[in-house]
Amino acid sequence: MQMMLCLCDEFANDFDIKFNCGKSVAMRVGKRFKEKCVQLQVDNKYILYITELKYLGVHVCAGQLLKFSVEHLMSKFYRTFNCIYSRSKASNSEMIFVELLKSYCFPFLFFAVDAMSLSSTNIRILENCINRALFRIFGSCDNSSLDYIKKIVLDFTIQRALLKRDIVVLLIS
């Protein structure tokens, strides 16, 4: 790896390009991801090893397998939902809340989901965000009631959205 970085460094020097070592990081994925390894250098500066990185809005986590984090999506969803919910309490219409949820909050929840392969845990986290928002809107805490509300009002589940995405990818290829 260090030899490849030295080659990149030579290329950069030949073409008057500078690497920003403050933004350059390395992350290990695989069986030995926790093992300590030799520091890598670019332009005689060390590169940090990290456990999570953000690339084009997608958070990738170090581990035995390539994993994606959805906690940042969850926090953006709740921040948007709480802002809308607190400002539109006077409307007293659940359907207005649901439409605002769909148009303003869902884009934050599903940002870059197409680029990730979500684990079952991540899918449960995203479903739980929707369930908690619907609970606050409708005041229903029973799972069967929430499933019925999702079926009637949202006509949407994350599993169905991911299945549609996979079908479209298969049809295109």
Residue-wise pLDDT for 8-27, tens only, equals 888 888 998 888 888 888 88
Q: In Å, how far are 56, 58, 171, 172, 173 from 166, measured between CA atoms?
A: 21, 19, 9, 10, 11
What does pTM read for this prediction? 0.75
- Contact predicate 42/5, CB 8 Å: yes
pLDDT at position 173 over 70: no
- Residue 168's pLDDT is 66
> 23: burial class by Cβ within 10 Å (0-12, 13-18, 19+)?
exposed
Task: Give the dihedral sign, CA 112/116/120/121.
Answer: negative
User: Across-strand partners of 63?
Assistant: 29
- Residue 82's pLDDT is 94
Tell me which residue of 1, 51, 47, 39 sits closest to 20, measured CA to CA. Answer: 47
pLDDT tens track for 132-161:
999 998 887 788 888 888 888 887 777 777
pLDDT at position 108 over 70: yes
Distance CA 106, CA 103 (A): 6
